[in-house]
Amino acid sequence: MEAAAVPKPRQDPVRRVLAAVWGNILWVGLLAWIVVYFIHNPTATLTDLKDGLSNGTIWALIALGYTLVYGIIELINFAHGEVFMIGSFITVALWLALGVTADSGFLAIAGAILGALVVASLGSASLNVMIERVAYRPLRNAPKLAPLITAIGMSFILQNVGSLWYDLPTSAPNLIDSQKVTFTVFDVGIKNSDIFAVAVTVPLLVALLWFVGATRYGKAMRASAQDPDAARLMGINVDRTIALTFFLGGLLAGSAGLIYALYNGTVNFRQGFTAGLIAFTAAVMGGIGNLKGAVVGGLLIGVVQAISDRHYGQQWTPAVVFAILILVMVFRPQGLFGEETREG
């Protein structure tokens, strides 16, 4: 029988167009929302954009942790927010212990910051690896319900650990004079904290992309994410690769903790819960499992928060973020850069 060319699916082209519009309505809507405010008040919106992008670096780093882990074991590391929080706590504890303040000399401050970067990120990294070992690995073959619940359990344990460590919000020494406006662009003041956030994040992102893209460990990660059985057959130690993934995620979260301590000024044991949800929203928005998406999502969420803070008030912003989370997960679970067929 002659194989006729299979005609293009003729099922309802109207429906396909509607589906395409519907799927993208969120981005279009968000963009339109930002543009409207920009037209309304350019300087304020530019300030919000700046704030959002620098604040968003924190969310981007945490979101990367979620996305790396989800990409490899399809699990939401619910305790990841707390890993970030512990990173902040380590930072502050270190600085308070060292006794560095805003008045310490330049070398002392630089050393303290670098030291905290190393210690906090390594600390968070190790914590993340420990969490995987204790709460997730034993449940590798259990239904997906089980590790999600242990993740929640772990999150609560860590929150309590935090509350025992610093039960009240604690100030971080203002080592870089965070609020000082160093220069101005288009009438928007760029603060030290903004510069710092970007200065720490960009090298980290570059390093991450290089690691995942160019080293054999990165290849092992990507292979394990795509097909763990095949990866094992190729001689990749998948267990160790998973641990490595958690290590990387924790590194990034710990660095985010450092940035947060200086950017926000105070740390508190509940910051992980809120940050976790915001960063997870970012990861899902960008496409869970997609690194580029996590970064874009983080920055975008930061901007949304800044604009919402200004125009709706800080008390409504969490509701706005959660609403976005729900909308994305229900109407476009694959996010911005995810694939169409699978559910996220």
Partner 1 sequence: MSARLQAVPRWAWLLLAVAAAVAFPYVVPQIITSLLGGSSGDDLFQASVETLAYVIMALGLNIVVGFAGLLDLGYVAFFAFGAYAMGWLGSGWFAEVDFHLLVSKASETLPGIHVNFLLILIAAAAFTGFFGAVLGAPTLRLRGDYLAIVTLAFGEIVPRVLENWTAVSNGRQGITPVDRVYFPGYGELDYPIDLYGVYFVALAMVVITLFINVRLRDSRLGRAWVATREDEVAAAAMGVNLVRVKLWAYAIGAAFGGFSGAFLGTFRNVVNVDQFEFGFSVFILCMVIIGGMGNIWGVILGAIALSMLDRFLLPQLDSISDTLGLGFSFTSINFGIFGFFLLVMMVLRPEGFLPNRRRRLELHADELDAAAAADRIAQPAPGEELYEARR
Partner 2 sequence: MSPEPKPTADKHALPVPETAPGPTPAPVPGPGVERGDTLLLAENMTKQFGGLTAVNDVTFQVPAGGIVSIIGPNGAGKTTFFNMLTGLYKPTLGRVSFDGRNITGKRPDIVTKAGVARTFQNIKLFKTMTAMENVQVGMHVHLRARIAGSIFTTPFQRREERQSRERAKELLEFVGLRRPEALAAGLAYGDQRRLEIARALGAKPKLLLLDEPTAGMNPQESAELTALMETLRQEWGLSVLLIEHDMKVVMNVSDRITVLDYGEKIAEGKPEEVRTNERVIEAYLGSQA
Residue that has been written with the tokens 């919402």 in this structure: 308
Q: Where are the alpha helices (DSSP H) in the chain?
A: 13-40, 42-73, 80-98, 106-131, 145-165, 192-214, 216-226, 228-233, 238-264, 271-286, 291-312, 317-331
Say which entry of partner 2, partner 1, none residue 330 contacts (CB below 5 to 8 A, set by partner kind): partner 1
Contact 344, 333 (CB under 8 A): yes
Contact 162, 85 (CB under 8 A): yes
- Does 14 help bind partner 2 (rule: CB under 8 A)? no
- Does 7 help bind partner 2 (rule: CB under 8 A)? yes
Say which entry of partner 2, partner 1, none residue 3 contacts (CB below 5 to 8 A, set by partner kind): partner 2
Query: Is 2 or 235 the residue whose CB approaches partner 2 more closely?
Result: 2
Say which entry of partner 2, partner 1, none residue 9 contacts (CB below 5 to 8 A, set by partner kind): partner 2
Dig out the tokens for 26 from the structure. 């969120």
Q: Which residues pair with 69 in a beta bridge?
A: none
Query: Is 23 or 153 the residue whose CB approaches partner 2 more closely?
Result: 23
Contact 254, 125 (CB under 8 A): yes
- Does 344 help bind partner 1 (rule: CB under 8 A)? yes
Query: Is 13 or 42 the residue whose CB approaches partner 2 more closely?
Result: 13
CA 267 centroid distance within chain: 18
Cα–Cα distances in Å, from 192 out to 177, 264, 276?
A: 7, 12, 25
Q: List, in order, residues 6 or more apart from 50 with CB less than 8 Å away.
A: 188, 190, 194
Among 6, 14, 39, 145, binds partner 2 (CB under 8 A): 6
Contact 241, 224 (CB under 8 A): yes
Among 141, 184, 315, 341, binds partner 2 (CB under 8 A): 341
Under rule CB under 8 A, which residues in 138-167 are in contact with partner 1? 138-139, 141-150, 152-157, 159-161, 163-164, 167
Query: Is 263 or 280 the residue whose CB approaches partner 1 more closely?
Result: 280
Query: Is 104 or 274 the residue whose CB approaches partner 1 more closely?
Result: 274
Q: Name the residue type at position 315.
A: Q
- CB of 12 vs partner 1, minimal distance in Å: 14
Residue that has been written with the tokens 């560095």 in this structure: 100
Q: Name the residue type at position 84.
A: F
Residue 12, classed as helix, strand or coil, is: coil
- Does 135 help bind partner 1 (rule: CB under 8 A)? yes
- What DSSP designation does 332 have? -
Query: Is 88 or 159 the residue whose CB approaches partner 1 more closely?
Result: 159
- CB of 342 vs partner 1, minimal distance in Å: 9
Query: Is 98 or 161 the residue whose CB approaches partner 1 more closely?
Result: 161
- CB of 9 vs partner 2, minimal distance in Å: 5
Window 27-66: contact mask with partner 1 (x via CB under 8 A): ----------------------------------------
Say which entry of partner 1, partner 2, none residue 11 contacts (CB below 5 to 8 A, set by partner kind): partner 2
